[in-house]
Structure 1
């Protein structure tokens, strides 16, 4: 599974806002500052911010002194949650998410598909376990 560049940017945006949140939960950051700090083209950053707001991961403050902040605590936001917002086709192989796509016409009986499905489930469980507070507090 290869993550899209947009997903990488979304993870970096949430990480950036999580660090700010831990320092000062009331601080609001404008999109230009986020874009500059994380080296993300501003128009692309705005597109991602909109998706994260819609998913209720971050919140938007409108007006002259508007901007963005987390909508919940960093300990309540997982890597998986952010990844799921951006990645629509999350399967590591087409046969897992698209019934009838097996070129050998094995579908549910395919041992390879079943093995890949187990791997994918473990990957998703792992992504859900890792919270942004864990990342901030780690020494990766």
Structure 2
């Protein structure tokens, strides 16, 4: 499983929103500057996050983006699935109609890999990431 640039940058975008959660909306331009990511690319990433309901956008001079739930209630897995789709290492894990599923010995390996990955990403919240970010960057919590 290889996470694309879209997924990696999406996690960084969501981290910025988590770090600023109690301060109101955050402009995409500020996120781009903070994360050193092209604003144009962030525009493409923010759309599915907004459509999914994880992020809300506000227009106007004081506009920007804000998380719709507390950072502790949004997991990395949720964000990655919105941006990347399935986190399965191979398609047959998600395809129960595979004609070889009854006899395929490698299928159990792929399922275990998916379960392990899901276990990791579904147990790390944006709040966890924000806390680690603050620790690594010596920011008061």
TM-score (norm: length of structure 1) = 0.85
RMSD: 1.8
Equivalenced residue count is: 134
**Structure 1 portions without partners, runs of 5+:** none
Q: Are 2:28 and 1:31 aligned?
A: yes
Q: CA deviation at 1:100?
A: 6.2
Which of 99, 113, 117 lines up with 2:111 in the alignment?
117
Q: Are 2:23 and 1:10 aligned?
A: no
Q: How does 1:1-140 map to 2 (within 5 A)?
A: 1-21=1-21, 25-98=22-95, 106-138=100-132, 139=135
CA gap of 1:30–1:130, structure 2 versus 1, over 3 A, is same
Determine the C-alpha separation between the residues in 2 that align with 1:89 and 1:119. Answer: 13
Contact (CA 8 Å) 1:18, 1:74: kept in 2 or not? yes
- Which stretch of the first structure deviates more once superposed, 67-76 or 112-121? 112-121
TM-score (norm: length of structure 2) = 0.85
Contact (CA 8 Å) 1:9, 1:40: kept in 2 or not? yes
**Structure 2 portions without partners, runs of 5+:** 137-141
